[in-house]
């Protein structure tokens, strides 16, 4: 085997051949990338952190439709090096100030039998490695048909792993926790912890014109890239020049560093939208939860949820309580034609719902009306009508749309395949033209594209709150694992904030509307009330839903935290965390801080240090589980108390089993 060791040199933009000896290190010299070429021309990379092998030699390359195997018979033509360091500002995000610091190697690879060349770009950050393939215009004049991408992550050792099973059509899965050798086929992000305490996750960034990636266990720690296919078996059709998404591996000494890593957004291009007041993070609520409970329905009729009167009731409640927006699901016709092509036209209101009257009323009350476009995954039907639908939004002064793609894709393709990735991106760019923010449900995975298109505010892609209304539900471990798995892919519209955790308020009015359970009276929210409050902080979304009904919030003392919470945060700090066990996060909005902490099924106590506070005195309003609280037997029991704190304060706060706490911290006046 001919071996080329890469570690960063101070000389940038120079070339070398496979006979040269050069290096690429991370900026802090802790991570070391190695590139090898085997005797049969297989290109391999490996990654070390000090003396610890993170990734053992792993294959790179492609298999094309014409039989060319661009993963062997390869040689390195040259390598160019560069370094980059900048700090940039986001219009919104967990942290509005972001540092982007890496060393880069651009490797030109030659396929000896055909003479064709492509590029592999490696970026080494202090917290991990990213790589992507680049096909220059000279690679081919014709469309490139990719049958397989053989990129591997050969993980050294047998780390603990948190993962969900790969499904080409949904990310709404439970998370599993076992050793890597028991993982079969995983969606990303896939999170690991080595026995020496090193934490890692595999994911991808900047998914454009290319299918979502999964990783399949090939044995001996070899997690191989498996792209979501077209129904004809092809993985991707691309045209040179073309860049694949970034394959990325974040490496951290602890669980906190996984969440705090900015690598994914840094691998995306800068914003294509100038800072604008129509892009506005907010807490919202809406006509939604009652349909999942089964006390109301989306379609027209006697159980219709979306009426003019009901919409105004929600808008009044939002205005009175400082809630920024209201979404109205079931506002339009077509719900009785679910699953049919052209079921929805996105402009025709249902009987009993006066769209223009509601829009004008919301404007008068200074509440943002959020439009809802359920497509039923009829993508051609939606694309044909999206201009008229968005034009109506613009006419009515509506700047936010929640889209949905429930059900099988009308073309027969997979939700996470190339066709749908391109469709989702088309809608994002079309929405930007009409000054519309998006909340996408049943999406492709998050990959940091919200940096480039900040109107792409949030997405679902998770087994969310609605599962609590009509299935066996989501365990406390599930919601405490999300920040370390799905949450690493970006903003997550989990729709938290249920105060009626036992679902008693509408019990007599509920009807069975799906086949998940035989008896929906057995459903409930699987956490304490304070755990629900904390989820607004721990599961990040710049559009954060308070999902419960107005009547359950009205007059309830815990609702004050939701009223106070500001989704437009400036800075985020992970205070303490262990994957799937517990997490505590503090987020700053202006001079105020919001802290949320959740635990799994085990009770525990956390010591919360306030050393992140600037000088001065603050009032901390603490919502915590009562002494006798328990997520199974006494989930609604909680206490509220106030304490003065400063940067030297440390509070000891217990969490019940399945519980948590939420804190607002405001400067003393």
Q: For 598-615, what is each residue's pLDDT tens digit?
A: 999 999 999 999 999 999
Determine phi and psi for 416, rounding to 5 degrees: -105, 15
The whole-number pLDDT of residue 17 equals: 36
Q: For 172-198, what is each residue's pLDDT tens digit?
A: 999 999 999 999 999 999 999 999 999
Reported confidence tier of residue 467, pLDDT bands at 50, 70, 90: very high
The whole-number pLDDT of residue 518 equals: 85
Mean pLDDT of 326-348: 95
How much is the mean pLDDT over the chain? 95
Q: For 83-96, what is each residue's pLDDT tens digit?
A: 999 999 999 999 99
Reported confidence tier of residue 8, pLDDT bands at 50, 70, 90: very low
Extended strands (E) in 112-245: 117-125, 128-135, 144-149, 152-155, 160-163, 176-179, 185-187, 190-193, 199-205, 213-217, 222-227, 236-238, 242-243
In this model, does residue 3 exceed pLDDT 60? Answer: no
* Per-residue CA distances from 344 to 299, 394, 553 (Å): 12, 19, 33
The whole-number pLDDT of residue 339 equals: 86
In this model, does residue 126 exceed pLDDT 70? Answer: yes
Query: Could you tell me if 580 and 177 are in contact, meaning their C-beta atoms sit under 8 angstroms apart?
Result: yes
Mean pLDDT of 214-224: 97
The whole-number pLDDT of residue 669 equals: 84
Q: Which of 12-16, 130-134, 228-232, 466-470 has the lowest mean pLDDT?
A: 12-16
DSSP-derived secondary structure for 170-207: ------EEEEGGG--EEESSEEEE-TTS-EEEEEEE--
CB burial readout 375-404, b (16+ within 10 A) else e = bbbbbebbeebbeebbebbeebebbbbbbb
**CA 311 to chain CA mean position, Å:** 29
| Residues assigned a catalytic role | 466
Q: Which of 278-282, 448-452, 505-509 has the lowest mean pLDDT?
A: 505-509
In this model, does residue 589 exceed pLDDT 50? Answer: yes
Mean pLDDT of 371-387: 98
Q: Above pLDDT 70, what percent of the chain?
A: 97
How far apart CA 200 and CA 253 sit, in angstroms, is 9
Reported confidence tier of residue 157, pLDDT bands at 50, 70, 90: very high
Q: For 526-576, what is each residue's pLDDT tens digit?
A: 999 999 999 999 999 999 999 999 999 999 999 999 999 999 999 999 999
Q: Which helix (H) or strand (E) holds 107?
A: strand 97-111
Residue 573: Cβ within 10 Å count? 18
How far apart CA 625 and CA 219 sit, in angstroms, is 44
Q: For 263-311, what is each residue's pLDDT tens digit?
A: 999 999 999 999 999 999 999 999 999 999 999 999 999 999 999 999 9
In this model, does residue 10 exceed pLDDT 50? Answer: no
**pTM of this prediction?**
0.96
Domains and CATH numbers, the chain: 2-90+97-266 (2.70.98.10), 282-564 (3.20.20.70), 586-667 (2.60.40.1180)
Cα Dmax for the chain: 78
Q: For 42-80, what is each residue's pLDDT tens digit?
A: 999 999 999 999 999 999 999 999 878 999 999 999 999
Reported confidence tier of residue 14, pLDDT bands at 50, 70, 90: very low
In this model, does residue 153 exceed pLDDT 80? Answer: yes
Q: Which of 192-201, 401-410, 516-525 has the lowest mean pLDDT?
A: 516-525
Which residues contact residue 365 at a Cβ distance below 8 angstroms, ignoring those fewer than 6 apart? 315, 316, 318, 319
């Amino acid at each position: 085997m001919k071996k080329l060791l890469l570690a960063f040199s101070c000389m940038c933009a120079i070339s070398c051949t496979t006979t040269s000896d050069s290096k690429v290190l991370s900026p802090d010299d802790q991570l070391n990338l190695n590139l090898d070429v085997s005797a049969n021309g297989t290109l391999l990379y490996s990654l070390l952190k000090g003396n610890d092998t993170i990734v053992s030699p792993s294959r790179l390359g492609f298999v094309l439709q014409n039989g060319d195997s661009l993963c062997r018979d390869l040689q390195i033509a040259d390598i160019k090096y560069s370094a980059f360091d900048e700090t940039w500002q986001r219009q919104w995000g967990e942290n509005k100030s972001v540092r982007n610091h890496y060393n880069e190697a651009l490797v030109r690879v030659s396929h000896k039998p055909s003479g064709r060349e492509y590029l592999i770009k490696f970026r080494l950050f202090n917290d991990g490695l990213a790589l992507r393939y680049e096909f220059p215009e000279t690679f081919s004049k014709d469309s490139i048909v990719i049958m397989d991408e053989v990129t591997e992550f050969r993980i050294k050792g047998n780390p603990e792993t948190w993962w969900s099973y790969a499904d080409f059509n949904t990310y709404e899965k439970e998370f599993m926790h076992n050793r890597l050798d028991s993982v079969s086929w995983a969606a990303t992000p896939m999170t690991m912890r080595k026995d020496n305490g090193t934490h890692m996750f595999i994911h991808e960034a900047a998914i454009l014109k290319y299918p979502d990636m999964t990783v399949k266990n090939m044995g001996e720690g070899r997690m191989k890239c498996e792209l979501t296919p077209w129904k004809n078996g092809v993985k991707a059709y691309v045209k040179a020049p073309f860049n694949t998404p970034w394959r990325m591996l974040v490496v951290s000494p602890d669980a906190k560093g996984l969440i705090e890593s900015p690598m994914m957004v840094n691998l995306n291009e800068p914003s294509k939208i100038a800072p604008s007041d129509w892009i506005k993070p907010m807490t919202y609520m809406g006509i939604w939860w009652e349909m999942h409970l089964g006390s109301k329905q989306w379609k027209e009729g006697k159980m219709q949820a979306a009426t003019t009167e009901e919409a105004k009731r929600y808008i009044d409640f939002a205005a009175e309580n400082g809630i920024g927006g209201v979404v109205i699901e079931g506002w339009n016709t077509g719900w009785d034609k679910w699953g049919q092509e052209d079921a929805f036209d996105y402009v025709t209101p249902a009987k009993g719902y006066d769209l223009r009257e509601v829009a004008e009323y919301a404007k008068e009350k200074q509440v943002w009306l959020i439009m809802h476009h359920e497509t039923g995954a009829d993508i051609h039907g939606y694309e044909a009508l999206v201009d008229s639908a968005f034009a109506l939004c613009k006419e009515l002064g509506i700047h936010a749309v929640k889209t949905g793609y429930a059900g099988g894709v009308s073309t027969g393709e997979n939700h996470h395949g190339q066709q749908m990735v391109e469709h989702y991106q088309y809608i994002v760019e079309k929405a930007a033209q009409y000054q519309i923010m998006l909340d996408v449900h049943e999406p492709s995975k998050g990959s940091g594209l919200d940096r480039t298109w900040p109107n792409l505010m949030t997405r679902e892609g998770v087994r969310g709150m609605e599962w609590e209304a009509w299935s066996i539900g989501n365990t406390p471990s599930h919601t405490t694992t999300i920040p370390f798995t799905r949450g690493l892919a970006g903003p997550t519209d989990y729709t938290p904030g249920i105060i009626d955790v036992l679902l008693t308020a509408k019990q007599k009015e509920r009807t069975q509307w799906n086949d998940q359970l035989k008896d929906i009276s057995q459903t409930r929210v699987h956490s304490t009330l304070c755990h629900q409050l904390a989820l607004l902080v721990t599961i990040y979304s710049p559009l954060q839903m308070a999902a419960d009904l107005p009547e359950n919030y009205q007059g309830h003392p815990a609702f004050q935290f939701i009223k106070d919470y500001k989704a437009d945060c400036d800075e985020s700090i992970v205070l303490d965390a262990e994957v799937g066990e517990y997490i505590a996060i503090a987020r700053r909005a202006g001079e105020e801080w919001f802290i949320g902490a959740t635990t799994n099924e085990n009770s525990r106590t956390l010591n919360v240090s306030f050393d992140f506070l600037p000088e001065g005195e603050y009032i901390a309003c603490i919502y915590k589980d009562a002494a006798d609280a328990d997520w199974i037997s006494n989930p609604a029991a909680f206490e509220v108390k106030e304490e003065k704190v400063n940067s030297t304060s440390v509070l000891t706060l217990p969490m019940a089993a399945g519980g948590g706490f939420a804190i607002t911290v405001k400067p003393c006046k």
